[in-house]
């Protein structure tokens, strides 16, 4: 049994980008799909698909690289964990890497980036920071 599937997802993304893989498979969940949607909207990944396997499903994320093969996600860090939840108001959200990165939050309106949260004046649990 896995205690923190989101930390596992972020670790798989980090390892796949470091190894230069074109895609990575992750166990599917609503939260993982929400994180993948934010990453696609913000331009950190190309796309993702959900592959049905008769059980939980697999989330296949297609990674994005720069013109000369550089990584788009240089830092991937889990902020909130199952043992220590971190919540922030919209006014408390600061820019990640001077606006070059994002923070991913779960809110009452779903999974959003820090930019979207500031626009909609929503706070929530800070899941991860990606830069």
Mean pLDDT of the chain: 93
Distance in Å from the first CA to the final CA of the chain: 30
The per-residue pLDDT for 99 is 80
Phi-psi sector, 47: left (phi>0), alpha (psi -120 to 50), beta: beta
Residue-wise pLDDT for 27-84, tens only, equals 999 999 999 999 999 999 999 999 998 888 999 999 999 999 899 998 999 999 989 9
| Residue 82: burial class (beta carbons within 10 Å; 0-12, 13-18, 19+) | exposed
Q: What is the pLDDT of residues 72-127, one digit of tens each?
A: 998 999 999 989 999 999 988 888 888 889 999 999 999 999 999 999 999 999 99
pTM as predicted: 0.92
pLDDT at position 15 is: 95
> Considering only CA atoms, which of 26, 30, 3, 9 is closest in space to residue 128?
9
| Per-residue model confidence (pLDDT) at position 1 | 61
Identify which of 61, 70, 3 has the alpha carbon closest to the alpha carbon of residue 35.
Answer: 61
Domains and CATH numbers, the chain: 5-130 (3.30.1370.30)
């Amino acid at each position: 049994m896995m205690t923190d599937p989101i930390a596992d997802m972020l670790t798989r993304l980090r390892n796949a980008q470091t190894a230069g893989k074109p895609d990575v498979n992750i166990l599917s969940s609503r939260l993982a799909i929400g994180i993948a949607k934010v990453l696609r909207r913000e331009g950190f990944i190309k796309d993702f698909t959900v592959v049905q396997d008769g059980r939980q499903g697999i989330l296949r994320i297609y990674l994005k690289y720069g013109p000369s093969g550089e990584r788009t996600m240089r830092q991937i860090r889990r902020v909130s964990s199952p043992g220590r939840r971190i919540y922030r108001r919209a006014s408390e959200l600061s820019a990640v890497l001077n606006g070059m990165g994002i923070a991913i939050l779960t809110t009452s309106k779903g999974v959003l980036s820090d930019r979207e949260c500031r626009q909609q004046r929503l706070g929530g649990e800070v899941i991860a920071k990606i830069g």
